[in-house]
Structure 1
Amino acid sequence: MFNGDNFEEDDPFSPAAYLGGIRHPFMSNIMNPNRKFTECYRCYPMAMMQHGNERENVNYGGKIILPQSALEKLSQLNISYPMLFRLINAGQNRHTHAGVLEFIAEEGRAYLPQWMMQSLNIEPGDLLEVKNTTLPLGSFVKIQPQSIDFLDISDPKAVLENALRNFSTLTVGDIVQINYNDKVYEIKVLEVKPNFEEHSGISIVETDLEVDFAPPVGYVEPTKTVLPTMKSQMIIDEEVTKPTNTGFAAFHGSGRTLRGKDKQPVKQKMSEDGEQPSPEDMDLTESAFDPNDDGPLNLPFGQLYFGFPLVTPKSKEEAEEDSKSRAFKGAGQTLRSKKVPSASAR
């Protein structure tokens, strides 16, 4: 940076860089200790600048174009770099901040991006006061897209990061414009940190900036669809109604227990408030599920019940005696039927 007799020629914001890299040996001797730069220019949008339509990116940034005389005055002042300016429209009591892109404007003119002229509420040809200023490095900014179309961008963070490279400052209340895929998006600056009341602006040159997004203008939160619960869909009647359809019904009818008794349809017992009682509150001694049930089946230890009468096996002696009594028991049959004697034979 430029500081007395010592300055770096590689610094892009040094006076030597603005003067085409020409070093002036006696520049330090003519430096003005005054740090104030104040000029009034006729302001015009970038589109009205000669060959302005060929550089569309200048209209979607935060930098202005000043005449060559402004550079000559700034180079003689002991100002800080990068060059930042405060733009004031005294008639409308509005202001904003901007950096400088080039010093190629006609004398007495300054060219501004279209969004900046709208923010200042100024018309082409009106007078604009331009002052050099110093802004703190920003650490936080909260922005709000002015249209829900901004949500269609697949990666808004990357798009915004690339767009902010054309800005040097951000001021609370400004509605800046960025261009993405041949579509213009407007973004309002809601909050910055640090925030000082005298300027409400920050510098975003070579700083780590945290960005927070507010919901776009016109955005409506989607309503949550409340799905019906199983309990709300249950219809519990006092009595089980018989189906009126006489056609085929799958799994229709009552069940049967292992003891051969009919299984009646289950009726859920509900409490007065509509909640299902807990197992502790239910009287399990009375048949809550089968009115014909006579209670649990108590069997002696070591016996199982398979749904048919229990037949104990016979002893060996009884089995042998039973087999002997049934041996060769019954009448035999022949293949020929027995002839009946005739009456003559008798």
Structure 2
Amino acid sequence: MFGDYDYEDTHHILPRGALPHQGSSFSETYRCYSAAMMQTMTERPELLYGGKIVLPNSAFVKLSSLHISWPMLFQLTNAAQDRTSHSGVLEFTAEEGRVYVPQWMMQTLLLEEGQFIDIKNVELPLGTFVKIQPQSVDFLEITDPKAVLEQALRNFSTLTVGDIISFKYNDKLYDILVLEKKPEGQGISIVETDLEVDFAPPVGYVEPTPMHRPASAAAAVNQPNLKGSTTSIKEHTVAEDIAFKPFAGSGQKLSGKKHGAPDGTASLADTTNVPAALRLPPGKLFFGYPVVPVKGKGHSDTEPPSSSGGGGGSGGSGGGPPAFTGAGQTLKAARRGAAGSSSTSGSPSRK
């Protein structure tokens, strides 16, 4: 009964010996409308601010019979204005004879609502590089433009040089002009590919002019005053160089009013003197303060031993003054052992 037919995996019944339309291409003419004209109850950002179109169901049937490879990419041509662009397909839910495209694509193709547009399927190479130019300096206000652009390009399948695509971010529309692309050709596919993106200065962007300071002010900032010579150690000592002053900070009041700085604080903050580089001969060291050498045994400055004995007693047998010769007092009663010794060395007992 089915001897003259083969059942293909694509669920299309073909006569025996007949081959699918392998070399054929999809080419149709539709009336073009913007995506905002679709009878949808809710706003669809992927359709309004993306790069894909909506075709009728009959286009899907024909594309299936042609065994078009995925993703399905199309070339859109306005023959009246000789304008061309490329896009992917989002779904096949449009009315017969109509195609819905994003608003930016209608502006690129110079189309009005209801005009005819030619659509045919194409195969585009995977893109590796694209250079874009924002059409407003407002694009510079985006905190992370790379992440925002990566999220916006997920709704696009192709890019064409000369197209001004639009995307929405934080309830604001941004227009982007495609300047260059690689590889060369009509367009590129950006589906499942690593795309390098380069940014050109936005339209209306002006480079900020550098601030030129007066020569005297620049010299005062960049060339501080050098203090001291390069050979005199005396001029590089800590006492003369830093002029340390303790507690030279400023105070704060609980009422919030500023408290005046003590005398000398302003002068310390305003000084810009920098010590000059000190060059010493080999073998000589400088620590920032005068070094007092240690005196030997023959140069003793201690007092001679006291000639008068008694009184407080002598703390040692040396010639120096006695050390640790004081007597202590306690409020507690002396113990037995301590009481005996103290009675012998203390004042005589009363009779």
Smaller-chain TM-score range?
0.5 to 0.7
Q: Give 1:79 deviation, angstroms.
A: 2.2
Give structure 1 regions of 4+ aligned residues with deviation exceeding 3 angstroms.
4-7, 25-30, 229-234
Secondary structure of the equivalent of 1:159? helix
Q: Give 1:83 deviation, angstroms.
A: 0.3
* 1:24 corresponding residue in structure 2: 11
Structure 2 Cα separation of the partners of residues 6 and 231 of structure 1: 86
Pair 1:225-2:211 in alignment: yes
Q: Give 1:27 deviation, angstroms.
A: 7.0
Q: 2:192 aligns with which of 206, 213, 218?
A: 206
Pair 1:88-2:74 in alignment: no
Structure 2 Cα separation of the partners of residues 132 and 218 of structure 1: 37
Any gaps of 5 or more consecutive residues in structure 2? 1-5, 221-351
Q: Give 1:30 deviation, angstroms.
A: 6.2
Pair 1:186-2:175 in alignment: yes
* 2:111 corresponding residue in structure 1: 122
Q: 1:138 aligns with which of 122, 127, 131?
A: 127
Instruction: For 2:183, give the aligned amino acid.
Output: P
Deviation digits for residues 68-117 of structure 1 (CA, Å, limit 9, x no counterpart): 00000000113222100000000000000000000000000000000000
Cα 1:180–1:231, aligned 2, differ >3 Å: closer, same or farther? Answer: closer
Structure 2 Cα separation of the partners of residues 50 and 120 of structure 1: 23
Cα 1:225–1:84, aligned 2, differ >3 Å: closer, same or farther? Answer: same
- Please list, as runs of the form range in 1=range in 2, the aligned pairs for 1:1-346 lying within 5 A after superposition: 24=11, 26=13, 31-51=20-40, 53-196=42-185, 199=186, 201-230=187-216
Structure 2 Cα separation of the partners of residues 5 and 208 of structure 1: 39
Instruction: For 1:145, give the aligned amino acid.
Output: P
Q: Give 1:195 deviation, angstroms.
A: 1.2
Q: Give 1:233 deviation, angstroms.
A: 6.7
Secondary structure of the equivalent of 2:48? helix
Cα 1:43–1:227, aligned 2, differ >3 Å: closer, same or farther? Answer: same
Instruction: For 1:24, give the aligned amino acid.
Output: H
Structure 2 Cα separation of the partners of residues 103 and 233 of structure 1: 72
Deviation digits for residues 148-184 of structure 1 (CA, Å, limit 9, x no counterpart): 0000000000000000000000000000001000100
Q: Give 1:53 deviation, angstroms.
A: 4.6
Compute the TM-score of the two structures, normalised by the length of structure 1. 0.58
Question: How many residue pairs are counted as aligned between the two chains?
Answer: 214
Instruction: For 1:98, give the aligned amino acid.
Output: S
Secondary structure of the equivalent of 2:77? strand
Structure 2 Cα separation of the partners of residues 116 and 87 of structure 1: 9
Cα 1:233–1:209, aligned 2, differ >3 Å: closer, same or farther? Answer: closer
Secondary structure of the equivalent of 1:91? coil
Deviation digits for residues 190-224 of structure 1 (CA, Å, limit 9, x no counterpart): 0000012xx2x100000000000000000000011
Secondary structure of the equivalent of 2:165? strand
Structure 2 Cα separation of the partners of residues 56 and 50 of structure 1: 15
Cα 1:134–1:110, aligned 2, differ >3 Å: closer, same or farther? Answer: same
Contact 1:175 1:189 survives alignment (8 Å): yes
Cα 1:27–1:230, aligned 2, differ >3 Å: closer, same or farther? Answer: farther
* 2:315 corresponding residue in structure 1: none
Structure 1 Cα separation of the partners of residues 172 and 115 of structure 2: 29
Cα 1:25–1:115, aligned 2, differ >3 Å: closer, same or farther? Answer: closer
Secondary structure of the equivalent of 2:146? helix
Contact 1:47 1:53 survives alignment (8 Å): no
Instruction: For 1:174, give the aligned amino acid.
Output: D
Structure 2 Cα separation of the partners of residues 36 and 54 of structure 1: 33
Deviation digits for residues 275-294 of structure 1 (CA, Å, limit 9, x no counterpart): xxxxxxxxxxxxxxxxxxxx
Deviation digits for residues 290-346 of structure 1 (CA, Å, limit 9, x no counterpart): xxxxxxxxxxxxxxxxxxxxxxxxxxxxxxxxxxxxxxxxxxxxxxxxxxxxxxxxx
Secondary structure of the equivalent of 1:176? strand
Structure 2 Cα separation of the partners of residues 203 and 228 of structure 1: 55
